[in-house]
Amino acid sequence: MQVLAALCFLVLAHLPLLRGEVVGSFQDIPQCLDFFYEGKVPEWGAATPGAARLCQRFQNRYHFATLYDTLHRIAVYSAYRFQTGNDPTRNDWCIEPQLVDRSWNAGMEEEKDLITEHKGVYFGERQALEEDYINSNYDRGHLNPKQHQSGDSRQATFTLTNVVPQTPNLNQKAWVTYEHQLTKLFIAQCAQAYVLVGAIPSNNTWIGERVNIPDYIWNAYCCLDNNGRPIGSGGATVRNTGGTRVKRHTLSELKLLLGQYTKSPVEELFHNNCEA
C-alpha cells in the first residue's frame, strides 16, 4: 500500500496543474506558451494596470492567449498561431467566468448560461458584456480573427475578451481586407505563423463609460519555414476612426510606434525579433 501511495504521489507531482484560464503568468500553463514564438511572451503590456492573463479555453482545450485590460475592458493583445479552415461558427458570444470569480469554470461560457447558473450576479465589473455593444454603433472587432482559425479554435474566437470596439467601416472593410491578405501570405509562404494583434486605448473615448474605444489597432507576425526558422515578419497599424488605410510596417518600425503611442519601451515582440 505504501508503494502504491508513493507511485500515485510521483504521478500526480508530474501532472500539469489543472488551473483555469485566468493565470498569474502565461508560463503557469505550458500549453499557453505554444501561442508565442519559442514561448517568448512580450514584456510590453505586462505592466498594464488591471491586466489579466487569459489562456483562452474552450471545449477543454487551449486555443490562444489574451492579455486583457480589466480597467478599460478591452484586450491589450491576443496571441495565436495561424490555422486555415472554413468551419461554420455559431457566433454565440462568450465571456470569461473567472474574471467574475476565480473559483468558477475555467472555460469561456455564454453569458446566458452563466445567468442561469449564477442568478443575481453581475458579470461586467472586470469585462465587457454583450449589452455594452448593443446599439453602440461599434462592432465587436476580433483581434484573433475567426478566419485565421479552424475547428473549435474558430468558435473560441467569439469571446468578448478577444474583441475591442471597432468602427464598422474599419472592421468590415479595411481591417478585414488586411486579414484576408495575411491569410494569403501565410498560406503561400509560411509553414507556420505566429501572430499578435492588439489595441491602443484612447484617453477619454468610451462606450457608456465602461468600454474604452481604442485609438489604434495593430498587428505583428512572424513567419517560419518547415524547419521552424524565421523567414519573414511584419506588422501594421490603423486608426480606429473609420480608418480606411492600414499602414504596413517592419517589426522595428512597429515597435517604435507602439512605444510612441504608449510611452512605454518595446523590446522583443517575438523571440530574437523573429530573426534567424
| pLDDT for the residue 9 | 37
pTM, entire model: 0.91
User: Is 257 within the bounds of a domain?
Assistant: yes
Q: What is the CATH number of the domain that holds 105?
A: 3.40.570.10
Which of 15 and 249 is assigned the larger pLDDT?
249
C-alpha grid cell, residue 266: 518595446
Domain span at residue 101 reads 21-274
CA-wise closest residue to 154 among 61, 233, 244? 61
User: Residue 238: helix, strand or coil by DSSP?
Assistant: strand
| pLDDT for the residue 244 | 72
pLDDT tens for residues 91-124? Answer: 889 999 999 999 998 899 999 999 999 999 999 9
Which of 214 and 8 is assigned the larger pLDDT?
214
What is the rounded distance in angstroms from the CA atom of residue 203 to the CA atom of residue 87? 38
C-alpha grid cell, residue 265: 519601451
pLDDT tens for residues 87-97? Answer: 788 788 999 99
Q: 8-12, 107-111, 171-175, 212-216: lowest mean pLDDT where?
A: 8-12
Range 6-22 average pLDDT: 42
User: Is 8 within the bounds of a domain?
Assistant: no
pLDDT tens for residues 32-86? Answer: 999 999 999 999 999 999 999 999 999 999 999 999 999 999 999 999 999 987 7
Residues of the chain with pLDDT > 90, as a percent, come to 84
Bridge partners (DSSP) of residue 95 are 109
Instruction: Give the 3-state secondary structure of 130-155.
Output: HHHHCCCCCEEEECCCHHHCCHHHHH
Total domains, the chain:
1
User: Is 6 within the bounds of a domain?
Assistant: no
Would the pLDDT of 11 be above 80?
Answer: no
User: Is 79 within the bounds of a domain?
Assistant: yes
| pLDDT for the residue 243 | 64
User: Residue 198: helix, strand or coil by DSSP?
Assistant: strand
Alpha-carbon distances, residue 210 vs 19, 20, 70, 240 (angstroms) = 29, 25, 10, 18
Q: What is the largest CA-CA distance in the chain?
A: 70
User: Is 5 within the bounds of a domain?
Assistant: no
CA-wise closest residue to 247 among 260, 259, 234? 234
User: Is 7 within the bounds of a domain?
Assistant: no
User: Is 30 within the bounds of a domain?
Assistant: yes
**Beta strand pairing call for 51-58 and 22-23:** antiparallel
Q: Which CB contacts under 8 angstroms, 24+ apart, belong to 96-105?
A: 96/21, 96/22, 96/54, 96/68, 96/127, 96/159, 96/161, 98/20, 98/21, 98/22, 99/22, 99/52, 99/68, 99/70, 99/126, 99/127, 99/161, 100/125, 100/126, 100/127, 102/20, 102/22, 104/20, 105/20
| pLDDT for the residue 86 | 79
| pLDDT for the residue 7 | 41
| pLDDT for the residue 84 | 87
User: Is 58 within the bounds of a domain?
Assistant: yes
Residues of the chain with pLDDT > 70, as a percent, come to 92
